[in-house]
Amino acid sequence: MSRLPLPIEPQACARDQAGEHQRLYALKRLPRRVQQVFLLNRLDQLDYATIAKRLDLPVLSIERNMHLALQAVQPGADANARVAGQWYVRLQSPDVTACERIDFRRWLDAAPEHLQAFHETELRWRSLLAPARALGLDGWYRQGRTAISLGGCSLAMGIGVAALMLLGFWA
């Protein structure tokens, strides 16, 4: 005999949706480059080296951007949560060394709070999929480095042309 699934509490759904909305808002407040790096990794599942090559950035810059994205969704994190986030990002880097992996293991084993903080970081990372999908819905982040730069330039040029037209119209 199979069991029927337990009904989902409406309050739990409301909390999840509120949390998802807050995470999306936090991600939207990040600089565009950080958003782009985050989305390329989270949605397109590109590794740091591939993102670095695509955007012509050093891998260390990709790591910094990923850490910023992860920390943005947990403002006011304690020291253990911040360190866990740094480890989580660093361990995904192609530049991580065997010595760093040993250091991570030592840090993890040093206190139960470290293991708990790292586990919460992993859960927080998983909770970012839905907000990432909403943020990258139109695929803007797949455009190269120049697309982001040209976007601002195009806007400035458009405003300049409009100003010249207005001046020409009034003259």
Number of domains in the chain: 1
Q: Tell me which residue range forms the domain holding 122.
A: 10-140
- Contact between residue 89 and residue 70 where contact means Cβ atoms under 8 Å apart: yes
Answer whether residue 135 is part of any domain. Answer: yes
* 20/36 Cα distance (integer angstroms): 19
Answer whether residue 105 is part of any domain. Answer: yes
Answer whether residue 28 is part of any domain. Answer: yes
Answer whether residue 43 is part of any domain. Answer: yes
Q: What tokens were used for 116?
A: 């708990």
pLDDT digits (tens, 9 = 90+) for 9-68: 555 444 556 678 899 999 999 999 999 999 999 999 999 999 999 999 999 999 999 999
pLDDT of residue 77: 77
Element (H, E) at 95: none
Q: How many CB atoms lie within 10 A of CB 87?
A: 21
Residue scoring higher pLDDT (12 or 107) = 107
* 137/29 Cα distance (integer angstroms): 16
Per DSSP, 142 falls in state G
Answer whether residue 132 is part of any domain. Answer: yes
Answer whether residue 1 is part of any domain. Answer: no
* 27/135 Cα distance (integer angstroms): 8
Residue scoring higher pLDDT (76 or 152) = 76
Alpha helices in 73-97 (DSSP H): 79-90
Average pLDDT estimate for 65-76: 88
Answer whether residue 97 is part of any domain. Answer: yes
* 135/73 Cα distance (integer angstroms): 14
Answer whether residue 89 is part of any domain. Answer: yes
Per DSSP, 8 falls in state P
